[in-house]
């Protein structure tokens, strides 16, 4: 490869990468999530970062920072706590990738400086390079296996670029191994070297050396007589010691590429003729440059965002974050999310997501919708926006996503801000649009609505409690649920009281009038405190039924919503 081309490509991709990084990092100060974030100027956000950073560095907090670097960043303890397999996979990739970057890609400026007599074809470098590559490939395999193994039936959040980048990474590794394997097996490479260091490419004169390299170094000469005479080998070894040994150890330690070289042996001649060494090098190097150039716009940007996010979170306790600090931290969280989907696994309302068929409820998906809303990309498509809003507002703020996030994001803060944005954009919560009309009006809409929405067949399967009369037939209307209900108690002293009491909701179900309950204030104001269910003398699952009616309401009333609102 011509040095000029190499350098041009390198500097071009470095330049693109830097510009990309600047753009992406600047988003942490530009992107505004939450109505409160709109009140903060860019300068205030920069100032908050500088002040926070200084405060953390010059106080006892610095130990927390060191702890975060060691435990959270290097040892990945949050991921370890969540899933051991993925932790192992991730650690393998991280270690292997770092070693490859320093020891191989930057060999000229790192390894060669640190270790005298460094040659890529000497052990342990040869072995270590293979080991590192194998670690990355194994790690990627473990991550993919981990994803496959915990199939939840719900699609996982990801962007198109994510998988493309994984494919590119795989391509770099495979082309690297192929290149190395081919160079081991290539007679052409052998003659190039012999010309350079012995001053000869004469096959006859080099026969002893070729014998050694064929039998011990895996070069696939197709014109060598077999079996090889041991005296010839002895001669060859002498020549090898004087001319080659200082730069070459036996490539058996290249436990990936050496076996590959053996496999490639029959076609080596063909590859040599086709100049595979050159184009494999081009592919390998330019794939790396491409990766470098697009890195800021791929999943790999988390290499930058996650460490900074961890440090920012370790720099101050949650309550010490100013509004300006929180505004930046929300934008940073969008980039630090690696879309691992662990939050989705722990989400309390995941069953609802399944039931409603609305992935917008799941944290990892919701984060993408939040990013889209902040970027102005969500409001264009109304249907998607409405579903995102329903999803965002059905979140119960249970905090399990935050508790399990392997990169330690404060997701609840993000959700709250996102809901503020949705409300500001005229996308109210289901509780709001449902309660804009009385329960009776909704029931009428359902009656007049399209037949397929009135048909309760599928609902019976998905709303098992309210569809099965056994679940409330034991109700004796004793009023205990109403007596213990804090929502009813609160409505005693307000003009905006509830319309039905819990026991009346149960009675409507007993009478087969479920549609009348779906838009009821009681159903939508229920605080899910479970007092009713805990106290019910008949063992009716009152609170569970309330939850179910809300989910059913979003689905069925949502289907007649346009009808209702146009009338």
Partner 1 sequence: MTGARRDSCDVAVIGAGMAGMATALFAAERGLSCIQVGNPGGILFASGLLDLFGVHPVAERRLWRSPYAAIAALAREQSDHPLARIDASSIRTAFEIFVAALGAAGLRYAPLGDRNRSVLTSIGTIKTTFGVPLSMVAGVDALEARPPCLLVDFRGLREFNARQIAESLGHRWPDLRHRRIEFPGTEAAPELYAAHLARALESRQTRERTIALVKPLLGDALAVGFPAVLGLARASEVHAAFEAGLEMPVFEIPTMPTSVPGLRLLGALETAVSARGVRRRHQASVRALAFDREAGTAALDVEGVPGVERVVARAVVLATGRFTGRGLTADRGQVRESILGIPVLQPASREAWHQRDFLDPSGHAVNRAGLAIDDAWRPLDADGKPVWPRLFAVGSILAHQDWMRSKCGSGLAISTAWAAMEQVARQLRGTGAG
Q: How far is the CB of 508 from partner 1 (least distance, A)?
A: 17
Q: What are the CA-CA distances from residue 246 to residues 76, 117, 186, 395, 421 (Å)?
A: 41, 9, 20, 66, 66
Judge whether 159 and 339 are in contact, CB under 8 Å: yes
Q: Which is nearer to partner 1, 8 or 535 (CB)?
A: 535
> Using the 8-state DSSP alphabet, how is residue 56 labeled?
H
| Residue selected from 302, 497, 528, 559 as contacting partner 1 according to rule CB under 8 A | 497
Q: Per-residue x/- mask for partner 1, residues 343 to 382, rule CB under 8 A?
A: ----------------------------------------
Q: How far is the CB of 545 from partner 1 (least distance, A)?
A: 15
The full 3-state SS of 127-170, as one line of letters, equals: HHHHHHHHHHHHHHHHHHHHHHHCCCCCCCCCCHHHHHHHHHHH
Angle at 81 between CA 80 and CA 83, to 5 degrees: 65
Binding window for partner 1 (CB under 8 A); candidates: 87-95, 293-301, 451-459, 481-489: 481-489
Q: How far is the CB of 515 from partner 1 (least distance, A)?
A: 24
- Of 507, 553, 501, the C-alpha closest to 532 is 501
Q: Per-residue x/- mask for partner 1, residues 1 to 40, rule CB under 8 A?
A: ----------------------------------------
Question: Cα 489 to the chain's mean position, in Å?
Answer: 45
Q: Is 488 in the site for partner 1 (CB under 8 A)?
A: yes
* Structure tokens that stand for 186 in this block: 């290539």
Interacting residues with partner 1 between 516 and 545 (CB under 8 A): 534-539
Report d(CA 436, CA 209) in Å as an integer: 89
Q: How far is the CB of 497 from partner 1 (least distance, A)?
A: 6
Q: How far is the CB of 475 from partner 1 (least distance, A)?
A: 12
**DSSP SS3 for 253:** helix
Q: Residue 199: which region, alpha, beta or left (left: phi > 0; alpha: psi -120 to 50)?
A: left
Place of tokens 């997501």: 353
Q: Is 470 in the site for partner 1 (CB under 8 A)?
A: no
CB atoms under 10 Å from CB of 210, counted, come to: 25
Q: How far is the CB of 483 from partner 1 (least distance, A)?
A: 4
Binding window for partner 1 (CB under 8 A); candidates: 138-146, 262-270, 447-455, 475-483: 475-483
Q: Which is nearer to partner 1, 266 or 537 (CB)?
A: 537
| Residue selected from 54, 57, 478, 513 as contacting partner 1 according to rule CB under 8 A | 478
| Residue selected from 160, 230, 493, 511 as contacting partner 1 according to rule CB under 8 A | 493
* Structure tokens that stand for 15 in this block: 């330049």
Q: How far is the CB of 488 from partner 1 (least distance, A)?
A: 6
Q: Is 507 in the site for partner 1 (CB under 8 A)?
A: no
> Using the 8-state DSSP alphabet, how is residue 385 labeled?
H
* Structure tokens that stand for 160 in this block: 């198109």
**DSSP SS3 for 469:** helix
Q: Which is nearer to partner 1, 202 or 534 (CB)?
A: 534
| Residue selected from 484, 522, 551, 560 as contacting partner 1 according to rule CB under 8 A | 484
Q: What is the CA radius of gyration of the chain?
A: 33
Q: Is 465 in the site for partner 1 (CB under 8 A)?
A: no
| Residue selected from 492, 511, 562, 566 as contacting partner 1 according to rule CB under 8 A | 492
Report d(CA 137, CA 141) in Å as an integer: 6
Q: Which is nearer to partner 1, 82 or 503 (CB)?
A: 503
Q: How far is the CB of 130 from partner 1 (least distance, A)?
A: 42
Q: Which residues in 381-411 are b (16+ Cβ under 10 Å) and which e?
A: eeeebbbbbbbbbbbeeeebbbebbbbbbbb
Q: Is the peptide bond before 288 cis (omega within 30 degrees of 0)?
A: no
Binding window for partner 1 (CB under 8 A); candidates: 51-59, 244-252, 318-326, 483-491: 483-491
Residues near partner 1, by CB under 8 A: 478-480, 482-484, 488-489, 491-495, 497, 501, 534-539
């Amino acid at each position: 490869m011509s040095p000029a081309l190499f350098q041009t490509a390198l500097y071009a991709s470095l330049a693109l990468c830097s510009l990309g990084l600047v753009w992406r990092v600047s988003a942490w100060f530009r992107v505004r999530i939450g109505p409160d974030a709109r009140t903060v100027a860019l300068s205030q956000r920069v100032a908050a970062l500088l002040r926070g950073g200084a405060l953390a560095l010059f106080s006892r907090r610095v130990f927390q920072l060191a702890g975060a670097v060691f435990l959270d960043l290097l040892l990945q303890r949050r991921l370890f706590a969540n899933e051991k397999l993925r932790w192992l996979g991730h650690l393998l990739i991280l270690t292997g990738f770092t070693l490859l970057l320093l020891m191989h890609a930057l060999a000229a400026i790192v390894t060669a400086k640190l270790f005298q007599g460094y040659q890529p074809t000497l052990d342990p470098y040869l072995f270590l390079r293979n080991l590192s590559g194998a670690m990355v490939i194994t790690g990627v395999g473990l991550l993919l296996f981990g994803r496959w193994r915990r199939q939840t039936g719900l699609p996982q959040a990801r962007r198109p670029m994510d998988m493309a980048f994984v494919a590119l990474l795989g391509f770099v590794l495979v082309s690297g191994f192929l290149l190395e394997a081919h160079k081991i097996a290539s007679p052409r490479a052998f003659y190039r070297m012999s010309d350079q260091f012995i001053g000869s490419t004469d096959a006859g004169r080099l026969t002893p050396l070729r014998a050694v390299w064929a039998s011990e170094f895996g070069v696939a000469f197709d014109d060598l007589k077999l079996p090889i005479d041991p005296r010839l080998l002895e001669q060859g070894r002498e020549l090898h010691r004087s001319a080659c040994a200082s730069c070459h150890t036996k490539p058996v330690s290249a436990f990936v590429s050496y076996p590959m070289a053996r496999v490639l042996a029959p076609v080596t001649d063909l590859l040599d003729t086709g100049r595979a060494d050159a184009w494999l090098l081009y592919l390998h190097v330019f794939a790396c440059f491409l990766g470098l150039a697009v890195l800021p716009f791929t999943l790999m940007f988390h290499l930058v965002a996650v460490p900074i996010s961890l440090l920012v979170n370790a720099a101050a306790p949650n309550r010490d974050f100013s509004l300006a600090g929180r505004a930046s931290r929300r934008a940073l969280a969008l980039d630090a999310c690696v879309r691992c989907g662990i939050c989705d696994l722990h989400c309390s309302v995941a069953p609802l997501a399944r039931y409603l068929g609305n992935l917008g409820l799941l944290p990892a998906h919701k984060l993408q919708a939040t990013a889209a809303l902040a970027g102005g990309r969500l409001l264009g498509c109304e249907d998607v926006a409405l579903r995102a809003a329903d999803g965002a507002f059905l979140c119960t703020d249970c905090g399990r996503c935050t508790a399990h996030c392997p990169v330690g994001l404060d997701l609840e803060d993000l959700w709250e801000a996102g809901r503020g944005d949705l409300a500001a954009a005229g996308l109210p919560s289901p509780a709001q649009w449902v309660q804009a009309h009385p329960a009776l009006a909704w029931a009428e809409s359902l009656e007049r609505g399209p037949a397929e929405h009135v048909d309760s067949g599928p609902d019976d399967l998905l709303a098992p409690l309210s569809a099965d009369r056994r679940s409330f037939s034991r109700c004796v209307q004793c009023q205990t649920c109403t007596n213990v209900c804090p929502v009813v108690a609160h409505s005693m002293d307000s003009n905006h009281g509830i319309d039905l009491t819990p026991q009346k909701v149960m009675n409507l179900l007993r009478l087969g009038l479920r549609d009348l309950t779906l838009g009821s204030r009681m159903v939508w104001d229920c605080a899910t405190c479970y007092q009713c269910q805990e106290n019910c003398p008949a063992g009716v699952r009152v609170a569970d039924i309330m939850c179910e009616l809300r989910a059913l309401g979003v689905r069925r009333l949502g289907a007649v919503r346009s009808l209702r609102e146009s009338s």
